Chains A and B, each alone.
Chain A
Amino acid sequence: MPKLTIDGVEVEVEPGITVLQACETAGVEIPRFCYHERLSIAGNCRMCLVEMEKSPKPIASCAMPVAEGMVIRTDSEMAVKARRGVMEFLLINHPLDCPICDQGGECDLQDQALFYGFDRTRFEEAKRSVKEKDFGPLIQTFMTRCIHCTRCVRFATEIAGVEELGLTGRGEDVEIGTYIEKALVSELSGNMIDLCPVGALTSKPYAFTARSWELTKTESIDALDAVGSAIRVDSRGGEVMRVLPRLNEAVNEEWISDKTRFAYDGLRRQRLDRPYVRRDGKLEEASWDQAFAAIAGQLEDAPGRRIAAIAGDLADCESMLALKDLMAALGSVHTDCRQDGARIEAGERAGYIFNTTIAGIERADACLLIGTDPRFEAPLINARLRKRYLAGGFSVGFVGPEVDLTYRAEPLGAGPKTLGEIAAGEHPFAAVLDDAAHPMLIVGQGALARPDGARVLATARRIAEETGMIGDGWNGFNVLHLAAARVGGLDIGFVPGEGGLDVAAILEAAGSGGLDAVYLLGADEIDMAALADTFVIYQGHHGDAGAEAADVILPGAAYTEKDATYVNTEGRAQHGRLAVFPPGEAREDWKIIRALSGVLGRTLPYDDIGALRARMIEVNRIFAAPDEARPAEWGAFGTPGPMDPAPFAYPLENFYMTDPITRASMTMAECTALARSANKDKTGTDG
């Protein structure tokens, strides 16, 4: 391990790291613009200059590997003068518009100018100005502010996998842009806003709405897909102003998808902010008491077997457990959280989680995708797969329709037929998996949410077992979920009890008058028409399909408005936190159910969230270890048997609109329109 001296202190560091990283381990911060630890090294901004003994010139510390005996000075006159010089050059063409720039207050250039900037200018020529570029509906560009660090170019090329951005021209004419003027389409594009060290790329929806220092910052968890990305919700005066990623190496590293970042305007639109009761066919505003009374009236004489509950994709664990307990108290076993009809059982946990874990993908060396397009179903998982792919020695094959995953993946076949061949070892890809030290597979809802899903699941299990995916310290079997509620629902056991009805059966029973009431906990993605005249209680936060079909509406809280637990696809239980209060009379969901239980005379035994969480742990130990992805024991799951030869279809029709929040978002609507037109140009695949 090389030893070097940094500002007079001797340090020993890992070989192969750069001087900048060595300085960091020594606790010395080096200013930088172009360097980013998750991107390739460009070494083009020169802000990181330091003095190195025996070098006549200052060196770019971000691009210089450490060597034994180096003597580095970061605070010498030479180093400081060099940085001052670089800063003066950078500011030659950078506009002085900080007061009207959205980056103001969180701008690297502004911060560094405080230490190394010159308060006058010696540059008397005209400053250059650059035409704005079209980065789509999400990113506002002010290209005159660009300092050409190329972080955005490297992000697009390396992480997002869309090689469309570049640095064109030379010298003073250098510009960031696309070749043919067209909007950049990537499901991860918003991350470039965070990466841009200046205000050249800023958020379009957030433009001029707030200053960073007036925002209240709440650390939370995203609920718009099953990845459970770590987010920070920035709010002001009871409104969510923006959503940013937080660092979580195990899950999202420091990225989030555009849906996670930009759907927040949907939180303000079409909200249910007071209870409603249907009278004479029309939904009318009501008080909580009236709404509860209407429900009590309906349920009074209803036997448990004629009541059912369905939990939607955004439901949190607390409210699902409360509802399940309430249903049990009412004598009903008809509960289900699998809106899409996925044939997954709640029994064997290894059979419904992403066992490899997201970070574990980096250890895999072959991957089989079954009926899943992770690029849009879980963009951060796809980013991890791409990262693994770029590291080399990773073969990916997929069973399903053609997809563009941003990395090379071999099309193996369209559906169960191919899957059967792989399981039987008759397909060449079976050998690829066999030969891999750490093979993995990901089975998606496109393969499981079909009538033969349990058989597909069994086949996938067989592949996992036959190709050595299950072994010591390695589990390569993974289910990729789409809904933040799903794994939690299965962990809670929000599935039909002994003799209970599943979603399809509930709908069928409701359609034929077999049920007196159906309780929809934020369930909006089922066929409402099938409920026919059944009494529908809808508890949720948006006026979406479920509210429309409801007889009583109980206004709940969206994921940014409650302290709630979600379990991501890896089986990692995480706590989301209340950033703003639910609007109007809306309340946190478990509290609504708890209050209703009292009205129904079946008071649930928890008075605060602590007691409810204790009950959750009682139901499933995994809730005792939040933030952890505990390995699940391997067991038998799925139902062996012949599969339907019909090819798999990917479940997401539109990545940008998957739930009541994103469907209410104008930003997501714009993205949808853009993706559609881009797809038309492309002969197309997914979007």
Chain B
Amino acid sequence: MSGPTNPPANGADEAGPFAFTKANLALADEIIGRYPEDREASAVMGLLDLAQRQNDGWLPPPAVAYVAEYLHMPQIRVYEVVTFYSMFNLKPVGRNQVRVCTTTPCWLRGSAAVLDACRETLGIDLNETTEDGEFTLTEVECLGACVNAPMIQINDDYFEDLDGARTKALLDLLKKGDKPKPGSQTGRQCSAPLKGFATMISSAKTKGTEGD
């Protein structure tokens, strides 16, 4: 797991000042509106996500400060959130953020090969960005898709049931500018069993459900 890096000492950055666009201002207020009136700090994750999306996938210090001020929170409280979640980036990232799950279930199912394929295909190591700014590779903890392990997340989509070759194919498509289909890469439907149903196959014969 990689640690977050501290922002530059002076708090300023080449990124310049930050402010929500008009559309995002409306969205921000909608998000805040989802929480009780004196609990606006609850909207911090939503607003950080919004800010990050507006800013090419990362949060420069002015954006963190902006969100803090927007929600009347001390900056350190927002910074704690930003550094806790691996989904928030404090450094510029590539257009495609490839997050490889390496937690136990995925690892047992071959995440090492998936990670290797990523390294090879993209020519970068963990926490690096390709020179063309297209890909950033990171390692993450369980993303909750273990049933279809191993998996990776690229931006907002999950790609599951991977192995080395499938990962490479997927990334090659992306490199060409194509849009690979999210979900299982073996054609499995959602998280249905691979070889047909294995449980609850005999019809239920309990009282009350007779004739089923």
In the complex, are the beta carbons of A165 and B3 less than 8 A apart?
no
Most buried by B among A163, A169, A173, A179: A179
In the complex, are the beta carbons of B84 and A179 less than 8 A apart?
no
Cβ of B71 to closest chain A Cβ, rounded Å:
13
Question: A165 vs B4: C-alpha distance in the bound complex, in angstroms?
Answer: 17
B180, CB-defined interface residue at 8 Å:
no
In the complex formed, the residue of B with least CB distance to A173 is B3
Question: A169 vs B90: C-alpha distance in the bound complex, in angstroms?
Answer: 12
In the complex, are the beta carbons of A164 and B1 less than 8 A apart?
no
In the complex, are the beta carbons of A171 and B9 less than 8 A apart?
no
In the complex, are the beta carbons of A181 and B3 less than 8 A apart?
no
In the complex, are the beta carbons of A171 and B1 less than 8 A apart?
yes
In the complex, are the beta carbons of A163 and B83 less than 8 A apart?
no
> Contacts A180-B61, A181-B6, A181-B9: A172 and B76 contacting too (C-beta < 8 A)?
no
In the complex formed, the residue of A with least CB distance to B82 is A168
B156, CB-defined interface residue at 8 Å:
no
In the complex formed, the residue of B with least CB distance to A156 is B76
In the complex, are the beta carbons of B1 and A173 less than 8 A apart?
yes
For A164, give its contact among B9, B10, B74 (CB under 8 Å).
B74
> Contacts A179-B7, A180-B11, A181-B6: A166 and B80 contacting too (C-beta < 8 A)?
yes
| Interface residues in B81-118 (C-beta closer than 8 Å to A) | 83-85
B39, CB-defined interface residue at 8 Å:
no
In the complex formed, the residue of A with least CB distance to B61 is A180
Contact with B along A135-176 (1 / 0, CB 8 A): 000000000000000000000000000011111111111000
Cβ of B140 to closest chain A Cβ, rounded Å:
12
For B79, give its contact among A170, A171, A172, A179 (CB under 8 Å).
A179
CB-defined contacts of A170 to chain B, threshold 8 Å: 83-85
In the complex formed, the residue of B with least CB distance to A163 is B74
| Range class of the A interface residue count | 10 to 19
Contact with B along A269-305 (1 / 0, CB 8 A): 0000000000000000000000000000000000000
Question: A526 vs B135: C-alpha distance in the bound complex, in angstroms?
Answer: 71
A178, CB-defined interface residue at 8 Å:
yes
CB-defined contacts of B7 to chain A, threshold 8 Å: 179-180
B54, CB-defined interface residue at 8 Å:
no
In the complex, are the beta carbons of A165 and B76 less than 8 A apart?
yes
Cβ of A478 to closest chain B Cβ, rounded Å:
31
In the complex, are the beta carbons of A179 and B76 less than 8 A apart?
yes
> Contacts A180-B61, A181-B9: A169 and B74 contacting too (C-beta < 8 A)?
no
| Interface residues in B1-55 (C-beta closer than 8 Å to A) | 1-4, 6-7, 9-11
Question: A166 vs B78: C-alpha distance in the bound complex, in angstroms?
Answer: 10
Contact with B along A582-615 (1 / 0, CB 8 A): 0000000000000000000000000000000000
In the complex, are the beta carbons of B4 and A168 less than 8 A apart?
yes
B130, CB-defined interface residue at 8 Å:
no
In the complex, are the beta carbons of B1 and A166 less than 8 A apart?
no
Cβ of B67 to closest chain A Cβ, rounded Å:
12
In the complex formed, the residue of A with least CB distance to B1 is A171
B188, CB-defined interface residue at 8 Å:
no
Question: A165 vs B77: C-alpha distance in the bound complex, in angstroms?
Answer: 9
In the complex, are the beta carbons of B74 and A168 less than 8 A apart?
no
CB-defined contacts of B121 to chain A, threshold 8 Å: none
CB-defined contacts of A169 to chain B, threshold 8 Å: 3-4, 83-84
CB-defined contacts of B83 to chain A, threshold 8 Å: 168-170
Contact with B along A176-192 (1 / 0, CB 8 A): 01111100000000000
Question: A163 vs B6: C-alpha distance in the bound complex, in angstroms?
Answer: 18
Question: A173 vs B4: C-alpha distance in the bound complex, in angstroms?
Answer: 8
In the complex formed, the residue of B with least CB distance to A157 is B74
Cβ of B7 to closest chain A Cβ, rounded Å:
7
In the complex, are the beta carbons of B4 and A166 less than 8 A apart?
no
Question: A587 vs B74: C-alpha distance in the bound complex, in angstroms?
Answer: 51
Question: A165 vs B74: C-alpha distance in the bound complex, in angstroms?
Answer: 10
For A166, give its contact among B3, B64, B77, B85 (CB under 8 Å).
B77
In the complex formed, the residue of B with least CB distance to A182 is B9
| Interface residues in A545-598 (C-beta closer than 8 Å to B) | none
B184, CB-defined interface residue at 8 Å:
no
In the complex formed, the residue of A with least CB distance to B10 is A180
Cβ of B45 to closest chain A Cβ, rounded Å:
14
In the complex, are the beta carbons of B84 and A166 less than 8 A apart?
no
Question: A338 vs B126: C-alpha distance in the bound complex, in angstroms?
Answer: 69
Cβ of B13 to closest chain A Cβ, rounded Å:
11
In the complex formed, the residue of B with least CB distance to A134 is B9
CB-defined contacts of B80 to chain A, threshold 8 Å: 166-168
CB-defined contacts of A166 to chain B, threshold 8 Å: 76-77, 79-80
> Contacts A180-B9, A180-B10: A168 and B79 contacting too (C-beta < 8 A)?
yes
Cβ of B87 to closest chain A Cβ, rounded Å:
12
Question: A181 vs B11: C-alpha distance in the bound complex, in angstroms?
Answer: 8
In the complex, are the beta carbons of B1 and A178 less than 8 A apart?
no
In the complex formed, the residue of A with least CB distance to B74 is A163
Question: A167 vs B81: C-alpha distance in the bound complex, in angstroms?
Answer: 9
Cβ of B136 to closest chain A Cβ, rounded Å:
18
For A178, give its contact among B4, B10, B76 (CB under 8 Å).
B76
In the complex formed, the residue of A with least CB distance to B2 is A173
In the complex formed, the residue of A with least CB distance to B7 is A180
Cβ of B102 to closest chain A Cβ, rounded Å:
13
CB-defined contacts of A179 to chain B, threshold 8 Å: 7, 11, 64, 75-76, 79
Question: A141 vs B189: C-alpha distance in the bound complex, in angstroms?
Answer: 55
Question: A164 vs B64: C-alpha distance in the bound complex, in angstroms?
Answer: 14
In the complex formed, the residue of A with least CB distance to B11 is A180
Cβ of A677 to closest chain B Cβ, rounded Å:
14
Cβ of B121 to closest chain A Cβ, rounded Å:
28
Question: A171 vs B74: C-alpha distance in the bound complex, in angstroms?
Answer: 23
In the complex, are the beta carbons of A172 and B6 less than 8 A apart?
no
CB-defined contacts of B1 to chain A, threshold 8 Å: 171-173
> Contacts A179-B7, A180-B7: A163 and B77 contacting too (C-beta < 8 A)?
yes
Cβ of A166 to closest chain B Cβ, rounded Å:
4
CB-defined contacts of A173 to chain B, threshold 8 Å: 1-4
Question: A179 vs B85: C-alpha distance in the bound complex, in angstroms?
Answer: 16
In the complex, are the beta carbons of A180 and B4 less than 8 A apart?
no
Question: A509 vs B204: C-alpha distance in the bound complex, in angstroms?
Answer: 110
CB-defined contacts of B61 to chain A, threshold 8 Å: 180
CB-defined contacts of A167 to chain B, threshold 8 Å: 80
Cβ of B104 to closest chain A Cβ, rounded Å:
15
Most buried by B among A166, A167, A177, A180: A180
Question: A64 vs B61: C-alpha distance in the bound complex, in angstroms?
Answer: 38
CB-defined contacts of B11 to chain A, threshold 8 Å: 179-180
CB-defined contacts of A172 to chain B, threshold 8 Å: 1
Question: A163 vs B76: C-alpha distance in the bound complex, in angstroms?
Answer: 7
CB-defined contacts of B76 to chain A, threshold 8 Å: 163-166, 178-179
Cβ of B65 to closest chain A Cβ, rounded Å:
9
Cβ of A686 to closest chain B Cβ, rounded Å:
20
Question: A167 vs B84: C-alpha distance in the bound complex, in angstroms?
Answer: 9
Question: A178 vs B6: C-alpha distance in the bound complex, in angstroms?
Answer: 10
Question: A169 vs B79: C-alpha distance in the bound complex, in angstroms?
Answer: 9
6 contacts between A and B (CB under 8 A): A166-B76, A166-B80, A167-B80, A179-B76, A180-B11, A180-B61
Q: Which 8 A-B pairs have the closest CB atoms?
A: A173-B3, A163-B74, A166-B76, A168-B83, A180-B11, A179-B79, A179-B76, A166-B80
Residues in A lying within 8 Å of B, measured CB to CB: 163-173, 177-181
Q: A166-B79, A166-B80, A178-B76 are in contact. List 4 more A-B contacts (CB 8 A).
A: A163-B76, A168-B4, A180-B9, A181-B6
